[in-house]
Amino acid sequence: MSRKRLPTLGGKSFEGIKQTNEHGAEYWSARDLQNLLGYSQWRRFEQAVERAVTSCEQSGNRPDYHFAGAGKMVDLGSGSQRAVEDYHLSRFACYLIAQNGDPRKPEIAQAQKYFAVQTRRQELNDQAAADMERLELRKQTAEEFKALSGAAQDAGVQSRMFGVFHDAGYKGLYGGLGSDAIKRRKSIPEKDKLLDRMNATELAANQFRMTQTRDKLARDGVRNQARAIRTHEQVGKEVRDAIERIGGTPPEDIPVAEHIKAVEKRLRKATPKLELDEREAGGLLGETGAKPGR
């Protein structure tokens, strides 16, 4: 597996907090991983762990090979120690936690990129892989839309002007077309949300527009409604210019995609399995831990 671009926090890295158990298998403490992935509250992180356990089972792998309950001793201010709840996690478990973490956290995004380059053999057809990518992007874009709305409010945009603010970003990215004009151009029903009918490429472009606008509003200390709206449109134009420079398709010319609800329904009916190599299948039990018919 590649060791490039590891998540780091305060000089610590994902590989740096790895430990070895009595079976000779590598594992990570959930308490250590919590900090690395940007979670300040154990309760929030444990929710991601619980979702990861469910994903592990649904992917055709045994959770008990990858998640083990454990206690961890922590230092107290008085110099004494006390035990806190913890988990021992296999590398595969860490991967699933990153996939089920809060996508708004930059640490989670970085971890997802790290694990994305560590290819596992997956029993996925091309359609399922594309569906999963698009659904994940749609979820992330929804979160980013909410975050951008909050940033707009902080920048002085009044709630009654949110529609104008968001439309400015579309106009910048889509060559002057607002959301309603984009729908008409692509023959998208009025009742459909525009983001629900975008393919992965178009969603990624819009997510980038939103993240960059949010960061610029904060970086420039924008506190004026008109300036915030102009900033959003300008960032949209910059993203459009970048697409043009690399020879990409203008977003208004990208064909409309099927409704995201159809994608969700298709994935629910056919949950893909992840086939791990022998070492990773064994998880916390080591190479000999994987049993036939897991």
pLDDT in tens, 161-190: 999 999 999 999 999 999 999 999 999 999
- Could you tell me the pLDDT band of residue 72, with boundaries at 50, 70 and 90? low
Average pLDDT value over all residues in the chain: 85
Report the SS3 class of residue 110. helix
Q: Which two tokens stand for residue 22?
A: 């009595």
Which residue carries 């897991």 as its tokens? 294
In this prediction, residue 10 carries a pLDDT of: 46
Contact of 177 with 185, CB cutoff 8 Å: yes
The residue-averaged pLDDT of 266-285 equals: 71
Model confidence at 76: pLDDT above 60: no
Model confidence at 248: pLDDT above 60: yes
Task: Give the residue from 278, 260, 267 showing the smallest Cα distance to 59.
Answer: 267
pLDDT (tens digit per residue) in 182-238: 999 999 999 999 999 999 999 999 999 999 999 999 999 999 999 999 999 999 999
pTM: 0.56
Task: Give the residue from 50, 17, 56 showing the smallest Cα distance to 36.
Answer: 17
pLDDT (tens digit per residue) in 4-57: 444 554 457 888 899 998 888 899 999 999 989 999 999 999 999 999 999 888
Task: Give the residue from 158, 166, 167 showing the smallest Cα distance to 223.
Answer: 158
Which residue carries 């002057």 as its tokens? 176
Q: Which two tokens stand for residue 232?
A: 């959003």
Model confidence at 274: pLDDT above 70: no
In this prediction, residue 89 carries a pLDDT of: 93
In this prediction, residue 137 carries a pLDDT of: 93
Here the contacts of 184-193 (C-beta below 8 Å, separation 24 or greater) are 185/252, 186/252, 186/255, 186/256, 187/256, 188/256, 192/259
Report the SS3 class of residue 66. coil
In the chain the first and final C-alpha atoms are separated, in Å, by 23
- Could you tell me the pLDDT band of residue 71, with boundaries at 50, 70 and 90? low
In this prediction, residue 9 carries a pLDDT of: 46
Report the SS3 class of residue 248. coil
Model confidence at 273: pLDDT above 80: no
In this prediction, residue 271 carries a pLDDT of: 56
